Structure 1
Amino acid sequence: MMCKHQLSSLKSFFASGPFIFACEKCGAKVYREHPKAALPWNVLVIDRIGILFLALVFLLFESLPIATAAFFFISFLLYLIDLKTEPLKCVNLKEERKSQNQGMFVLVMVVVVLIAGLGAYLWQP
């Protein structure tokens, strides 16, 4: 019998990437994919080395704090859409390792974008 996985509201909100929780009904480890929320990040580093990212940083240098805020707002809205449309999925060992690597990549990119935005803001006279 297939379990229709269920998590508490808070766990359901964070159940993605490195955050994996146990289903309240069957106890299986579950997560939620966020393909729409990952799309802006994938476009930003489409070449895998971030040349597009660096080009945007230099092109938007003066308005980087605003562009960074808009980027995070769009990503957050797409994340909320994924919460409503994507089902919870069971985790196997291979997927768990992949999600941890993706989580670290997203974390590093968030830190880089925040540092670049803060640096651009502080750099202005």
Structure 2
Amino acid sequence: MGQKLCGLTAKELQYLENQLEMSLRGVRTKKEEILTNEIQELNRKGNLIHQENVELCKKVKLIHQENMELYKKLYGIRDMNEASPNSFIPNGFSTSEDSNDHINLQLSQPESQSHQAAATAATELGLQLH
């Protein structure tokens, strides 16, 4: 492309340069327009996602409140005798017969071998260590 420019005069080169600058301005303007539109679209989508997130947070909060109310109803109505210290076993296991009770399992550190052996022996004898 540059080889064809050798025979041009300064005035012709200036005209060509002006044409290139105008074309380049048009390309940059079009590029800026496209990028601006993309930014606006992404902002619109971001706002929609934000609104959806706000709505989902409200739903989660409402469900949490409903769960707490149901939990209070379930455990608030129970007979106080059922909540006696004897009705619960360590490690979160409950002895009540209600099939709707939750079982809470907890992780603990591994026991020493001597403690495990004693627990095994006690279990075989039908005893429980405290």
TM-score by length of 1: 0.27
Taking structure 2 as the reference length, what is the TM-score of the superposition?
0.26
Of structures 1 and 2, the one with the larger relative CO (CA 8 A, separation 6+) is: 1
Looking at CA atoms only, which structure, 1 or 2, has the larger radius of gyration?
Answer: 2
